[in-house]
Structure 1
Amino acid sequence: MDVNNVLTQLDTADEQGTEELLRRFNRENTHTFTFEQKEEALRSKLCQSVLTVLGRQVQASCQKTCLETLRILSRDKRVLSPVATKEGMLILGRLAGLQVGEEEGDNQRSFREQTQSEEEEEEEEEEVRVVVEALKCLCNVVYNSPAAQQVSVDVQLAHGLCSSLRGARTWRHEVGLFTLRLLFLLSALRSDVRGVLRREWHAVRMLTEVLEHTLDVRWVGPYEAACPDPRELPKPTEDNERAKEALKVLFNLTLSEAGGEEDDHQFRLIAGLLRHLLMLKTETEEKMEETQSHAVNLLNNLPVSCLDVLIDAPVQGGQEDYGGKNMDAVQVLIDFMEKRIDKGSNYKEGLTPVLSLLTKGSRHHREIRRYIKAQVLPPLKDVKIRPEIGTTTRNKLVRLMTHVDMGVKQMAAEFLFVLCKESVDNLLKYTGYGNAAGLLVARGLLAGGRGETQYSEDEDSDTEDINPITGHVEEPMPNPIEEMTEEQKEYEAQKLVNMFDKLSRQNVIRPMGVRPDGTLAPLEDTLRDQSEYNSGSDSD
């Protein structure tokens, strides 16, 4: 539908005519995601005209149609200047039922809860659709316009959203979903808003309460939620979607840790909620994995001291082998990690967060490390196969130690290193020198030893017959020079020397050695260091 024609008719149309005209425009452009650049000025003018209609007292059905038009237009970031103003954002905020630019309570929509006639119910449904459409428009505008982001700060849009959180228990699904989504966008795009949300408006506490209500949590201990009943139906998709949006906002707000007992209590409460969330079943495997991914991201933001909440579940009991700790949530994380490995793609975003979480938990909580090691690095049995060959979790992780992505490679190596209590000898048994070389070089541990973290002296000692270079027990190889004459041996040795000399002079290879501190250096430097060290020892 020609935009110029729409503008011409809007100038003279009454409310009913405006609604019908825009409804036709919406039908023809609902699935249009690109617009011609030559019509940019006309579409911007149409945004202004629609806002003018919304600023008047019109019926809810007309408001909804106008907002649908604005939502379609707001996909184009080039035409948002009329909306990205104080007046435009206030109009949208009020239609969304948010307290913006006014004293609290002045513009809050209230949906009737008493017994209603069929006509009143229809009116209320229309009002709800207006709120949802206004929230959708705000999401588009805030996402696409930096100017609108600044205006949102000026009119305290985030404060209005926080006020809306107080009524989360009575939310209609889409109202709650897009309220949380808009809060996520603001907290993601404006770091200053994150600080204000956290310090002044206590958004972390309110979002925790939203999550608690959405998941229908029943507490049986200070930070222990009752385990879901396996006989219960999976969590409804709508509840799951709102929970994911709340997790995303909490992730933004916990990017920088604060201190104090109140924060510690709040973080531990969140950890308890996330443990409960990890144990929940959803309607599809894909949805469950997506929710678990958001839970993992948020757990990574929490102080590592709070991770003990994942295994402290005294009411539901634990395993004697691990100090009475409950390892159900840790097992879910291990299963999640393996699913992400098996996907074979997007390791950086999909796999490294859970590897990071399991590494931190293993480094700082002995029971978590012992349990994960038993699952991932069980005692070696078939040691005749190279560690990177096979389908076990260990095989998969060892293969990742030579992945092309440096971040993935380092994270996988660090995880296995921590499971081995940062012992080079133990790591080499499970992975082989070739796979572990990158980590050892980066940490200056080529000469062996341990990392700086202190670990308990407990389990660890598998077979001593493993070749540390390849990571498996090799069959004895026949000696190729056994049947050679002395002249043949001398000839082959000289041939080898000549080859190395040629490659060295052509700078194809450069002989390297290992310094006393375990780092690599040119051979001449290491020989000089060793000579100086020996001469110093002799003088002593």
Structure 2
Amino acid sequence: MCRLPCKNGCVEGIVQRLKTYKDPELKFDIKFLDMRMLFLLTALVADTRPKIRYDLHGFTYLMEVIDLTLRDAEEAQIGLTDDEVDLCNEILKILFNITVTVDKNSLDEEEEAHFMRLVSVLRDLLMFKTVSKDKRDELQKHTVNLLTNMPKDCYEELLIPLIEGDVGGIENKEVEFDGKNMEAIVVLLDFLYRRLDRPTKSLKESLTPILHCLCETCKTNRAIRKFCRTKVLPPLKDEVKRLPEEGDSLRNRLCKLLTSTVTEVKDLCADLIFILCKESVQRMVKYTGYGNCAGLLANRGLMLGGPVQGDYSSDSEDSETEEYCNLKTLVNPVTGRWEEDKSDPMAGMSDEQKEFEAMKLVEAMDKLQRQGVIQPSRIGPGGHPVPIGGIQELAATLNIPNITQEAESDSD
């Protein structure tokens, strides 16, 4: 049933009618029904996607409809109405379907130009006001989804030269960076913050598109990465007295998700912070604590540290504040928090007492390991965790001497 409309000229008819959307006599209901049908067809019938994109030039016509809608709304000076947002959303969903399988690494000049133009249109959508606040969030959601399909070189189109007084009412100092207008990036970061701020039944559906979008833009565009770093990972001051996951800032909320049970969200949060740290293990540990980023380091074989992995500029960007320098020596690298100097719990113990207490710990860990509760590991030469076998290996890893086979049998 899904293939029938494709054989009776339905798709061709809808794409042809796109050319008439500037006619004020054409009712919204017809436009919306057209786009709804085209979305369903591109979602359910894979063959329609290249047909619309290449044979019928629908890619260009769909962008022109969004352009026309934005021009009409700008002339009306009231922002996008709910109907106009609904129409744009359907078009964005169609564009997502026809670009989701595109090979981003083998585009010719014409295709690349189309994608550059599309990212410029998406930037306009991010900036545009809507009559309804809820509709604006919905529009930004679909815009973000489509941005994840864009080739990496096209993200530059999210930035434009800064024009004094033309920043949508936002203070210039908030959006100016390296001579570029970062207003679109501010909108993306605000969108992420709102998504982190509200409870949701599906963290994966709510957060993965915007996290993926920011990972891609920050990884491929130096100016965007540096700007996002100032917003997400500003220089540490007195907040180092709290755990990285405690607080309401973007850094705090992202660090909290580094231990999320939703693997996709946890991994993308870690990737974003790691990219903002220019893939420096030392810097990542500084901002998140070793415990929070251990999963990422283990997956990448970086638990022993290592050089910067990505292709990043050599400038520092990591000047430490006076407040942080005063507290730095007492920051616990595991928790990432400043802690008061504590007395040595083994002070006054003899070597025999220390060894006795250490053995009690080893035996307790060995029991939990045999019960399948935990799996002690050591860091292998490749920087990945390597499981520890029995009590003898565990004791050797902890540098506890005089462990005999009799001690191992006693623990059984």
Q: Tell me, yes or no, if structure 1 residue 405 matches structure 2 residue 262.
A: yes
Highest RCO, 1 vs 2 (Cα 8 Å, sep ≥ 6)? 2
Corresponding residue number in structure 2 for 1:166: 19
Corresponding residue number in structure 2 for 1:225: none
1:209 positional shift: 0.7
Residue identity opposite 2:269 in structure 1:
A
1:484 positional shift: 4.3
Report the 3-state secondary structure (helix = DSSP H, G, I; strand = E; otherwise coil) of the residue aligned with 2:219: helix
Corresponding residue number in structure 2 for 1:347: 203
Q: Aligned partners of 2:32 and 2:311: how far apart in 1?
A: 46
Q: Aligned partners of 2:365 and 2:141: how far apart in 1?
A: 51
Corresponding residue number in structure 2 for 1:389: 246
Q: Aligned partners of 1:426 and 1:233: how far apart in 2?
A: 46
1:522 positional shift: 2.9
Q: Aligned partners of 1:487 and 1:306: how far apart in 2?
A: 66
Q: Is the 8 A contact 1:387 1:394 kept in 2?
A: yes
Report the 3-state secondary structure (helix = DSSP H, G, I; strand = E; otherwise coil) of the residue aligned with 2:245: coil
Out of 272, 275, 294, the residue aligned to residue 123 of structure 2 is: 275
Q: Aligned partners of 1:235 and 1:505: how far apart in 2?
A: 63
Corresponding residue number in structure 2 for 1:298: 146
> Following superposition of structure 1 onto structure 2, how do residues 12-411 of structure 1 map, counting pairs within 5 Å?
147=1, 149-170=2-23, 171-216=26-71, 232-257=77-102, 259-313=107-161, 322-345=177-200, 346-382=202-238, 383-411=240-268
Gaps of 5+ in 1: 1-146, 219-227, 528-540
Corresponding residue number in structure 1 for 2:332: 467
1:511 positional shift: 3.9
Q: Is the 8 A contact 2:81 2:132 kept in 1?
A: no
Q: Is the 8 A contact 1:274 1:295 kept in 2?
A: yes
Residue identity opposite 2:6 in structure 1:
V
Q: Aligned partners of 2:148 and 2:375: how far apart in 1?
A: 42
Q: Aligned partners of 1:247 and 1:490: how far apart in 2?
A: 66
* CA separation of 1:406 and 1:506: change in aligned 2, threshold 3 A: closer
Corresponding residue number in structure 2 for 1:514: 379
Q: Is the 8 A contact 1:422 1:451 kept in 2?
A: yes
Q: Aligned partners of 2:178 and 2:281: how far apart in 1?
A: 27
Q: Is the 8 A contact 2:280 2:309 kept in 1?
A: no
Q: Is the 8 A contact 1:235 1:283 kept in 2?
A: yes
Q: Aligned partners of 2:94 and 2:275: how far apart in 1?
A: 31
Q: Is the 8 A contact 1:197 1:203 kept in 2?
A: yes
Q: Aligned partners of 1:215 and 1:189: how far apart in 2?
A: 29
Gaps of 5+ in 2: 394-412
Which protein shows a greater Rg? 1
Residue identity opposite 2:60 in structure 1:
R
C-alpha root-mean-square deviation of aligned residues, in Å? 2.8
How many aligned positions are there? Answer: 373
Q: Aligned partners of 1:240 and 1:500: how far apart in 2?
A: 58
Corresponding residue number in structure 2 for 1:454: 311
* CA separation of 1:476 and 1:209: change in aligned 2, threshold 3 A: same
1:504 positional shift: 5.3
1:523 positional shift: 3.9
Residue identity opposite 1:169 in structure 2:
K
* CA separation of 1:289 and 1:450: change in aligned 2, threshold 3 A: farther
Residue identity opposite 1:278 in structure 2:
L
Residue identity opposite 1:398 in structure 2:
C
1:349 positional shift: 1.6
1:396 positional shift: 0.4
Partner deviation per Cα, 1:246-301 (whole Å, 9 max, x = no partner): 11111111112262111111111111111111111112221100000111111111
Q: Aligned partners of 1:485 and 1:260: how far apart in 2?
A: 74
Q: Is the 8 A contact 1:215 1:243 kept in 2?
A: no
Corresponding residue number in structure 1 for 2:408: none
Q: Aligned partners of 2:47 and 2:58: how far apart in 1?
A: 14
Q: Aligned partners of 2:155 and 2:334: how far apart in 1?
A: 36
TM-score (norm 2): 0.83
Q: Is the 8 A contact 1:234 1:283 kept in 2?
A: yes
Q: Is the 8 A contact 2:280 2:307 kept in 1?
A: yes
Residue identity opposite 2:136 in structure 1:
M
Q: Is the 8 A contact 2:245 2:256 kept in 1?
A: yes
